[in-house]
A and B are shown apart, each in its own frame.
Chain A
Amino acid sequence: MENEKQEFTITVYTENQVGLLNRIAIIFSRRKINVESLNTSPSEVQGIHRFTIVVVESKDVVIKVVRQIEKQVEVLKAYYNTNDEIVWQELALYKVLSDEITEKVKVERLLREFGARAVAIRKDFIVFETTGHREETNKLMEALAPFGLVEFVRSARVAIIKESAGFHEKLKDFEKREPGDELIENEYLGKREAVFTM
């Protein structure tokens, strides 16, 4: 089980610093781990950035990688979660030719079925948008392909950890010179199952 590869979502809270993206990317590339998706964004706390990284790896490897990430000076905390522990979305954009849409009612029905929105309507083309899991956005792409999908692009995964209480309180602890007992950093040592969970 520990060595079976599966999808893990790694959430990293960091300072906003030039070059940190590279420092984190190096940790994966050095071990020849392919990053499936990577997103950086602000977090719930002002001034703190949040990376969301998706990899397909064994738990063993993910634990080691997460510890290496956390070791970086400008990283505050890193978590890893399996898909059942998170709520996640990806956004996809599809460009199709207007002629195809207007002429073929079938396409319109397809779009309804997949809950897509039109975000730009031009004389020559229309851009649709969907959000969802990869399988969902993939399905629309496959469905549109026969009708001349001109462009397709999908964003990285963004994810919310179901059990997380957010980072506001943790950050207060990080700012203290002498951290309180609440900030139990070696919580995972010897408690293999509770590693890095909140």
Chain B
Amino acid sequence: MDTKQLTGSQAVLEACIAEGVDTIFGYPGGAIMPIYDALYDYKEKLQHVLVRHEQGGIHAGQGYARTSGKVGVVFATSGPGATNLVTGLADAMIDSTPLVCITGQVFAHLLGTDAFQETDIINITMPVTKWNYQITDATEIPHILAKAFYLARSGRPGPVLIDISKNAQFQSFDYEGYTVCNHVRSYRPKPIIRKEYIDEAVQLINQAKKPLVIFGQGVILGKAEKEFKKFIEKSGIPAAWTILGLSALPTDHPQNVGMLGMHGNYGPNVLTNECDVLIAVGMRFDDRVTGRLDKYAKQAKIIHLDIDPSEIDKNVLAHVGVWGDCKETLPLLTMGIEQKDRTEWLNVFAGYAKEEYEQCIKDEMHPTSEAMSMAEVIHAVNEITKGDAVIVTDVGQHQMVACRYAKFNQTRSNVTSGGLGTMGFALPAAIGAKFGALDRTVIAVIGDGGIQMTLQEFGTIMQTGIEVKVMILNNEFLGMVRQWQQLFMDKRYSFVDIASPDYVMLANSYKIAAAKVSKREELEAAVAKMLSHNGSYVLEVMVGKENNVFPMVPQGCSVSEIRLK
């Protein structure tokens, strides 16, 4: 084997190239300067996006990973650069997003001396990374990075952080090439599938009169959308989604019965407590999905498909736990089950959907009030995109409304912070989402609270010229907290009244075209203009100040106690 001398920094970039990385989100600083110096010579092969804050960098990496299905790569320096990644790591950990984050670290001989910009990022990030490792010797770089990429994307994906001391970045060593990692002896990304559990599951499904499928992001992460569709189509079972499962099944699929959980649809919530077999696919029974656990699906036999064995029985006891990659387990189920027509059962869902429409959706989509509703804004977007756009949402009321009302035709079209609920996620994530899906329209839907948490990333849009459509749904409140204060805290609106800058002027100062609409008559044209504009665009839409998101399962209540008003 021919060897050549490389520096640690060059080895990092060679690893990125070997792993098929095309875009890196990052921010330079003292302890990562050698890597940035090497990057200067790799400009042709590796595109670097300079963000305005490391948190923006990691959210962009997440957005990129979610739309592209590839590992997001983020660079940051030591100390504050590294600690600014923590929120994004926690977000990626809980939402199973594959990331490799490279942080610079002080010289190895300074470790533990409180050196300038030294922080113990390995220990700080331990609970929010799938794996992390500190490199102090350049010879470790090729195989540690190979392991990092392998761990990030295999099994249940997650974020990996590699901290590299400055001396290792400078250090020259005999480089023997890069070998992709596909085995770590202490790590089993997925098990051998046990047929007896498949058989038990098949039997339960075949005997079921009123089965319900609930699916999460596992279907998308497992790239098993086709397998999933075949499974539900043969079984005839209605399927409801978690917020991260959204877009794995087209919105208009006849068996797609809507969203689960706190602000989910009426039917899937109520009927969770009436079905006889509940088939959970790649989801983890989050408390926002289950509501009160001791009153959750107690009547049903539960089949739980998951790649992560620690999820099975964690929140809800499974009668049959099918541990495995759903891309492999779903076809085995499909093979075993009988083809069934379950129109009658689907009609029960349709009945609930009709009631929800009459009591809730109709007024949201076509409000009689003067103020616009968030739902009609999303509806206006649907009218033009027809469900082909990537929708990136922030956290709060607008997120729930966007997820409830946005239409999706293809997978990997919904990017949101589900588990962690990170306000400020959407703007940087949308930038990353666009880099991960350059041929698609990317629309960020953000509240007036969330946009103000990371709006410095307008600078990233300006400098890269990336095309992102930003819709700010402005209700002049931190709306979700205000809704809870209204419903559960006697309308004591404690610090939820939030002022906004002039977003049009702000966007213009970043050389981004922008407009503001406050009247319903102008909405459609404004949305059309935003979408047809060549380049990024900010559209601020003034919506009803005290509108609430319904239906709602109040905290501590059972899913069958869902309120329509």
Proximity bits, A80-104, B CB within 8 Å = 1, else 0: 0000000000000000000000000
Q: How far is the CA of A23 from the CA of B192 in the complex (A)?
A: 27
Which residue, B126, B186, B200, has most C-beta atoms of chain A within 10 A?
B186
Residues A26 and B320 in contact, CB atoms below 8 Å apart: no
Residues A189 and B186 in contact, CB atoms below 8 Å apart: no
Residues B188 and A179 in contact, CB atoms below 8 Å apart: yes
Residues A75 and B191 in contact, CB atoms below 8 Å apart: no
B481 at the interface (CB under 8 A from A): no
Residues B309 and A67 in contact, CB atoms below 8 Å apart: yes
Proximity bits, B130-146, A CB within 8 Å = 1, else 0: 11101000000000000
Residues A19 and B186 in contact, CB atoms below 8 Å apart: no
B155 to chain A, nearest CB (A): 9
Q: How far is the CA of A177 from the CA of B191 in the complex (A)?
A: 12
Q: How far is the CA of A68 from the CA of B194 in the complex (A)?
A: 21
**For residues 168 through 206 of chain B, which have their beta carbon under 8 Å from a beta carbon of chain A?**
182-188, 191-192, 194, 196-197, 200
**Interface size grouping (class) on chain B:** 20 to 34
In the complex formed, the residue of B with least CB distance to A177 is B183
B543 to chain A, nearest CB (A): 39
**Interface size grouping (class) on chain A:** 20 to 34
Q: How far is the CA of A50 from the CA of B123 in the complex (A)?
A: 22
Contacts of B310 in A (CB 8 A): 64, 67-68, 70-71
Residues A186 and B309 in contact, CB atoms below 8 Å apart: yes
Contacts of A174 in B (CB 8 A): 185-186
Residues B309 and A189 in contact, CB atoms below 8 Å apart: yes
A15 CB contact (under 8 Å) in B186, B188, B320, B323: B186
A30 at the interface (CB under 8 A from B): yes
Residues A185 and B191 in contact, CB atoms below 8 Å apart: yes
**For residues 51 through 74 of chain A, which have their beta carbon under 8 Å from a beta carbon of chain B?**
63-64, 67-68, 70-71, 73-74
B224 at the interface (CB under 8 A from A): no
A189 CB contact (under 8 Å) in B183, B188, B192, B194: B194
B308 CB contact (under 8 Å) in A71, A73, A189: A71
Contacts of A64 in B (CB 8 A): 310, 313-314
A22 at the interface (CB under 8 A from B): yes
Residues A189 and B126 in contact, CB atoms below 8 Å apart: no
Known contacts A73-B131, A190-B321, A181 near B192 by CB under 8 Å: yes
B317 to chain A, nearest CB (A): 9
B293 at the interface (CB under 8 A from A): no
Contacts of A26 in B (CB 8 A): 126-127
Residues A186 and B194 in contact, CB atoms below 8 Å apart: yes
B198 to chain A, nearest CB (A): 12
Residues B151 and A73 in contact, CB atoms below 8 Å apart: yes
Known contacts A185-B191, A186-B191, A189-B194, A75 near B186 by CB under 8 Å: yes
A175 at the interface (CB under 8 A from B): yes
Residues A179 and B192 in contact, CB atoms below 8 Å apart: yes
Q: How far is the CA of A22 from the CA of B127 in the complex (A)?
A: 9
Which residue, A171, A181, A190, has most C-beta atoms of chain B within 10 A?
A190
Proximity bits, B311-346, A CB within 8 Å = 1, else 0: 011100011111100000000000000000000000
B174 to chain A, nearest CB (A): 25
B122 at the interface (CB under 8 A from A): yes
B123 CB contact (under 8 Å) in A19, A63, A74: A19
Q: How many A-B residue pairs have CB under 8 A?
A: 73
B320 CB contact (under 8 Å) in A18, A74, A177, A190: A190
Contacts of A22 in B (CB 8 A): 123, 126
B319 to chain A, nearest CB (A): 8
In the complex formed, the residue of B with least CB distance to A186 is B323
A14 at the interface (CB under 8 A from B): yes
A144 at the interface (CB under 8 A from B): no
In the complex formed, the residue of B with least CB distance to A183 is B192
Contacts of B194 in A (CB 8 A): 184, 186, 189
Residues A76 and B127 in contact, CB atoms below 8 Å apart: no
B89 to chain A, nearest CB (A): 14
Residues A190 and B126 in contact, CB atoms below 8 Å apart: no
**For residues 8 through 37 of chain A, which have their beta carbon under 8 Å from a beta carbon of chain B?**
14-15, 18-19, 22-23, 26, 30
**For residues 151 through 185 of chain A, which have their beta carbon under 8 Å from a beta carbon of chain B?**
171, 174-175, 177, 179, 181, 184-185
A180 to chain B, nearest CB (A): 9
B323 CB contact (under 8 Å) in A175, A177, A189: A189
Contacts of B313 in A (CB 8 A): 63-64
In the complex formed, the residue of A with least CB distance to B322 is A189
A179 to chain B, nearest CB (A): 7
B23 to chain A, nearest CB (A): 26
B285 to chain A, nearest CB (A): 13
Q: How far is the CA of A174 from the CA of B131 in the complex (A)?
A: 19
Q: How far is the CA of A22 from the CA of B134 in the complex (A)?
A: 14
Residues of chain B having any CB pair with chain A under 8 Å: 122-123, 126-127, 130-132, 134, 151, 182-188, 191-192, 194, 196-197, 200, 308-310, 312-314, 318-323
A-B contact pairs, 18 of them (CB 8 A): A14-B186, A18-B134, A19-B123, A19-B126, A22-B126, A30-B127, A71-B309, A71-B310, A74-B186, A76-B185, A171-B185, A177-B183, A179-B192, A184-B194, A185-B323, A186-B191, A189-B312, A189-B318
Q: A67-B309, A71-B310, A189-B312 are in contact. List 12 more A-B contacts (CB 8 A).
A: A15-B186, A22-B123, A22-B126, A26-B127, A30-B127, A67-B314, A70-B310, A75-B186, A186-B194, A189-B321, A190-B200, A190-B319
Residues of chain A having any CB pair with chain B under 8 Å: 14-15, 18-19, 22-23, 26, 30, 63-64, 67-68, 70-71, 73-76, 171, 174-175, 177, 179, 181, 184-186, 189-190
Sort A-B residue pairs by CB-CB distance and give the 3 closest, nearest first.
A67-B310, A189-B321, A186-B323
